[in-house]
Amino acid sequence: VLPAAVMDSIIIQERLVERLLSPRTQAQRSHPARLKDHEKQYVGFATLPNQVHRKSVKKGFDFTLMVAGESGLGKSTLVNSLFLTDLYKDRKLLNAEERINQTVEIVKHTVDIEEKGVKLKLTIVDTPGFGDAVNNTECWKPITDYIDQQFEQYFRDESGLNRKNIQDNRVHCCLYFISPFGHGLRPVDVEFMKALHEKVNIVPLIAKADCLIPSEIRKLKERIREEIEKFGIKVYQFPECDSDEDEEFKQQDRELKESAPFAVIGSNTVVEAKGQRVRGRLYPWGIVEVENQAHCDFVKLRNMLIRTHMHDLKDVTCDVHYENYRAQCIQQMT
């Protein structure tokens, strides 16, 4: 027979082990009614966002971006700056004679980008030759035809037998580059945007903003906004913020709306400014930093395009532009 002190010690140790190994059992003993009520109230559909997140990350995302504008406005440089990649390394530059005979082409560049485990299949649709001819009558026709072809292909795939593996090649956004050397929109700019505004989300940009001083940029932005409203052009409209959004997001949304059309600068070179290495352009009078919001709207454009509104651009393409095309097709068939 063991002494009483030893027995008490063994009992205490057993209780401690039991408490450590089964805390839920102890909780049920102490508060059985409370735990049962909690289990009754918790169904489990609060984990649905996590399920959607896992499935989306596993599947990956795709985004198609079109760039349009006359040659020499820095379209290729800006795209490389946005996505930190070199999509145009194999491009051949044309001389003057070859450029005269060049017609508007559609060139696709596809690249797979991965960031923190999230995969993005990015497709850049370039339009070399647009606006470079002396007579630019209907030079946007190949571009509108291409957008309609992608809608048609998606409509066929959606109506076919194999609907699970549909490739979405619809154009989700079109960055249209406006020359900084004019006094607003040129006739070709107006006609291009009017021909495409019912088919794609148009985001107008003022190219090579380092050619202008801040006051000139402000005047040009006001002039472009007035002409867009005057000619009835429907550019991409930022969605209104929900009332439950935090104040920082609302402030960012206000700044985006006030900054449109974005005055941008692109650069693929790294220069040294104030002891730091930044992407920018080196001039005799100083350095223009691409990612400095006091110098240009590049950061705002990148945040809008990638971090905040990429999904909304895809939703508007699917729910508005593609639905309009689909309704027309069904109406013609019936």
Distance CA 64, CA 67 (A): 10
* Structure-token pair, residue 331: 């109406």
Q: Tell me which H or E stretch contains 64.
A: strand 61-68
Bridge-based pairing state of the strands 173-178 and 262-263: unpaired
Cα–Cα distance, 195 to 202 (Å, whole number): 11
User: Cis peptide leading into 261, omega within 30 of 0?
Assistant: yes
Q: How many CB atoms lie within 10 A of CB 260?
A: 22
For the chain, the domains span 58-93+100-266+294-333
The fourth-level CATH superfamily of domain 58-93+100-266+294-333 is P-loop containing nucleotide triphosphate hydrolases (3.40.50.300)
- In a structure prediction context, what are the per-residue pLDDT tens digits for the chain, which is 334 residues long? 445 555 566 566 666 556 655 545 444 555 555 555 556 667 777 888 888 878 878 878 889 999 988 888 888 888 888 877 776 666 666 555 555 555 577 888 888 888 888 888 888 888 887 766 667 777 888 889 999 999 999 998 888 777 777 888 899 999 999 988 878 888 888 999 999 999 999 999 998 888 888 899 999 999 999 999 999 999 998 888 777 777 777 788 888 888 888 999 888 888 887 778 888 888 888 888 888 888 888 888 988 888 888 889 999 999 999 999 999 989 888 7
Partners of 205 in the β-ladder: 177, 262
233 touches 201 (CB < 8 A): no
Q: Alpha-carbon distance 247 to 143, whole Å?
A: 40
DSSP state of 91: -
Instruction: Give strand pairing partners of 202.
Output: 174
